[in-house]
Amino acid sequence: MIYHVPWIYTPVRTVLAIWHQLTKTEIPELAKCSVLMRERSRVEETIHCMQRAGAGNLQVISDFDMTLTRFAHNSKRVPTTHNILDNRLLINEDCTKKMRELLNTYYPIEIDASRSAEEKLPLMVEWWTKVHELLIQQKIRKDMLARAVKESSAMLREGYKVFFDHLAEHQVPLLILSAGVGDVLEEVIRQNHVFHPNVHIISNYMDFDHTGVLQAFKGQLIHTFNKREGALSHAAGLRELQGRPNVLLLGDSLGDLTMADGVSEPQNVLTVGFLNDQVEERKESYINSFDIVLVKDETMDVPNAILRYITSSRDNKKKLCFMCTACYLCVRCEYLKFKSKHTVHMSFFIACRYDSAANSLLPLCFKRFGSVTVDTDTLILLCYGSTSQRAVAVC
């Protein structure tokens, strides 16, 4: 029996562990000190499943303010899309004062970890309704928005161009679901030269009259805690998102977690949360809610690394090393992916089948000499010891 050959059995028993180590070795950004994960193994398994499915099954759903844009730069807060409107070209000093008073009143409520989303919801509606009423009173001109954005200190996160360009290159749709101002959001992306055809935006858009003066905001108010309704009512109608059951979700608020609710029959959803402010107070709730939490990280390094892995074709060969505890052989394992059928010859081999339901390897046979035909996507582990003995595990 196979179990009576310890120098072979131990490497085979280790195969599953090696399988789960693949993503860890290939995405070193996940080992950064700013990265927190509650269930690392589940994150790695989800990423691996998304990579196997490929870019054609992937969509990215993201918040905008303080998610795709920076929270702070050089110890100074970066403006949100609403803050960008705080420009004398658009609003007067009295309006600025009133908007800041509203911010000081309601923002602490928005990030208060002790309050439930249900408790916050009516207060968020109250906040942004008042802000929009103030902006409408200012009779903002549409033709001044581009200049206001250009004069602002708005900044996308470091690595943003790689993020947007990579998604466009692989034809992965990016849905931005924002509680900010859609007209300003679009201008920020446009001025950074990353407004590609794969980008779709759901946000609060201004309604201008025939002279180009703001007279209202279109549709239902979108705020931090009703993005689920926005996703269900708008995202379902976007044909580009259909047939893409794997989702990479990016947000900076617990309310952003509902943005994927509009996805039809989701299979794998990986959530990444940017924890920008009040870290100690909110860390526990973020870790319990997001798959990956990025603490005070002003870059797109982790999302970019995940996307590179998911959209890449697996290498033909990946090498790993471990020690066989049964006989202390230094064993080298090679992970091979064949694009067509091959016949592999070996002196010893173990044929195994990976049972995803049981999350285990099922040994099929053990032979001293022979050959085996392997098909596409078969995992081959070639185990070389310090003796002349050699084993091949096929799973």
Pairing of strands 199-204, 174-181: parallel
In contact, 285 and 113? CB cutoff 8 Å: yes
Distance CA 260, CA 281 (A): 26
Report the chain's terminal Cα–Cα distance, integer Å.
18
Is-catalytic flag, 297?
Answer: no
35-40 contacts: CB < 8 A, separation 24 or more? 35/292, 35/293, 35/294, 35/295, 35/297, 35/302, 36/283, 36/286, 36/287, 36/292, 36/293, 36/294, 36/295, 37/287, 37/291, 37/292, 37/293, 38/287, 38/288, 38/291, 39/291
Amino acid at 179: A
**Residues contacting 239, CB < 8 A, separation 6+:** none
Amino acid at 382: L
Tally of residues, the chain: 395
The residue from 65, 256, 297, 301 that is catalytic is: 65
User: Of 88, 311, 302, which Cα lies nearest the Cα of 198?
Assistant: 311
Burial of 92 (0-12, 13-18, 19+ CB in 10 A): exposed
**Residues contacting 161, CB < 8 A, separation 6+:** 192, 193, 194
Is-catalytic flag, 355?
Answer: no
Distance CA 240, CA 169 (A): 15
Q: Which residues are catalytic?
A: 63, 65
